[in-house]
Copies of this chain bind each other. A is one copy, B any other.
Amino acid sequence: MAAQPRKPTMRDVSRLAGVSTMTVSRVLADPSIVAEDTRARVMQAVEQLGYVPDLVAGSLSSRRTRFVGLILPTLTNSNFGDTAQGLAEALGPAYQLLIGYTLYRASEEERLVRALLARRPEALVIAGSIHTAATRRMLSNAAIPIVEIWERPEPPLDRAVGFSNVEAGRAAARHLIGLGHRRIAAIGSELDDDVADHRGEGRLQGFAAALREAGLSDDLVLRRGHAPVSFEHGAEAMAALLERAPDVEAVFAVSDASAFGAMMECRRRGIDVPGTVAIMGFGDFEVGRQCEPAISTVRVDAKAIGEKTGRLLLETLTGAGTARAPLTEDVGVSVVARGTTARRDEAGPHGAERKGRGS
């Protein structure tokens, strides 16, 4: 790697082109306002030197960093990945995402907020609406747009784009109750002082509330292990659940990953899904769509959350929005009934019951 003695600066370009740095700056920012031959000389110098403008200096000078901070619970959940990609796409190439992850830890969130704010992002997008006091203070004092996502806080710190996790849980319960199940369980993660999946907890609470309102017991709403919830989590939680309630008829998992794990645990034990136990998840993960039987779920458009957030931010940052956007945008959720909650008579033959080569 042939290291240059020093990276070329705008000054180097301007000297080579025989103009001032201001002219170089203009050519790079808006070529149309510079005379054509001047512009050509500058571009030629830029090429020749392989000049890459220094946005650190540009940001300090213009007070525009073109950064948008994004704080997510994890980088390994494709739903949050979709949100990040949706946000990046909506924002376009003029903005750079500054992504951090918390692993559901409030302390880590606080550290991250401080670290990201030091980079002077023009806006900050953060999953969730429950923060430490210090985090809330920093966010409020930042004097930039803050968007809380994946929830529907009342009221939001500033703006919010998400949905009600409580309603999502309720919708799942309604679906299972409507199918005639009575001995209904749910599996999620524990909450402790520092690590907590408040959104999953919201779903669990909505689910439990709907159970009680229907006159059913919520004593099978289990919280096991720590977020993030995994495929393994579902398997273990399902095993624990069967230990405790061998007669369980239906299970709601706070995530499709967990639901899939639960279904695999049933398969290993020879328990028919949905024949003996119905299973429902949340998030509409690809695995749930593709597996056999496919997993019934509460769908949320993760990418749309990112896209709407991006558009909202663009309006706010460019001051383009004439009409003041609402404080909270709700992308809604929808129940998607699939194989794992099919009634016996509805259930098509699933692979487990077919043998031999078809096609």
Identify the A interface with B (CB < 8 A): 1-4, 7, 50, 52-57, 59-60, 65, 74-78, 81-82, 84-85, 88, 93, 96-101, 111, 114-120, 137-138, 140-141, 143, 146, 157-158, 230-232, 235, 242, 246, 257, 260-261, 264, 266-272, 276, 286-287, 289-292, 350-352, 354-359
Complex CA gap A77/B286 in Å reads 12
Q: How far is A260 from B231 in the complex, measured between Cα atoms in Å?
A: 14
Query: How far does the alpha carbon of A260 sit from the alpha carbon of B260 in the complex, in Å?
Result: 13
Contact, CB under 8 Å: B98 / A96: yes
Complex Cα–Cα for A250 and B55 (A): 52
Let me know if A138 and B231 touch, CB within 8 A.
no
Total identical chains: 2
A351 to B292, CA, bound (A): 12
**Are A75 and B84 within 8 A (Cβ)?**
yes
Residue of B nearest to A145 (CB): B1
Q: Are A358 and B269 touching (Cβ within 8 A)?
A: yes
Contact, CB under 8 Å: B269 / A359:
yes
Given A267-B352, A290-B231: A119 in contact with B96 (beta carbons within 8 A): yes
Indicate which residue in B4, B56, B267, B269 contacts A60 across the interface (CB closer than 8 Å): B56
- Chain B residues contacting A268 (CB-CB under 8 Å) are 292, 351
Which of B143, B232, B352 makes the CB contact (< 8 A) with A351? B352
A229 CB to nearest B CB, Å? 11
Q: Which residues of B contact A157 (CB under 8 A)?
A: 1
Q: Complex Cα distance A48/B257, Å?
A: 45
Contacts of A272 in B (CB 8 A): 355-357
Contact of A118 with B76 in the complex, beta carbons under 8 Å = no
A272–B352 Cα distance when bound, in Å, is: 9
Contact B357 A270 (CB under 8 A): yes
Once the chains bind, are B287 and A231 in contact (CB under 8 Å)?
yes
Contact A261 B290 (CB under 8 A): yes
With contacts A75-B81, A267-B351 known, what are 5 further pairs, Cβ within 8 A?
A: A1-B143, A4-B143, A52-B117, A260-B287, A271-B358
Contact indicator B231/A286 (Cβ below 8 Å): yes
Cα distance A267–B359 in the bound complex, in angstroms:
11
B141 in contact with A290 (CB, 8 Å): no
Closest to A158 in B: B1
A49 smallest CB distance to B (angstroms): 9
B1 touches A231 (CB 8 A): no
In contact, B7 and A355 (Cβ under 8 angstroms): no
Q: Closest CB of chain B to A285's CB: distance in Å? A: 9
**A51 and chain B: residue at smallest CB distance:** B141
**A/B interface sample: 20 pairs, CB < 8 A:** A1-B158, A4-B141, A52-B138, A54-B118, A55-B119, A56-B56, A56-B59, A75-B85, A96-B100, A230-B286, A231-B286, A231-B287, A257-B286, A260-B291, A267-B350, A270-B355, A270-B356, A270-B358, A272-B356, A351-B352
Check B137–A50 contact: CB distance below 8 A: yes
Cross-chain contact A120 with B54 (CB below 8 angstroms): yes
Flag if B93 contacts A111 (CB, 8 Å).
yes
> Closest Cβ of chain B: how far from A69's Cβ, in Å?
10
Q: Which residues of chain B are near A292, meaning CB under 8 Å? A: 264, 267-268
Contact between A85 and B59, CB atoms less than 8 A apart: no
**Smallest CB-CB separation from A114: which chain B residue?**
B52
Q: How far is the CB of A70 from chain B (nearest CB, A)?
A: 9
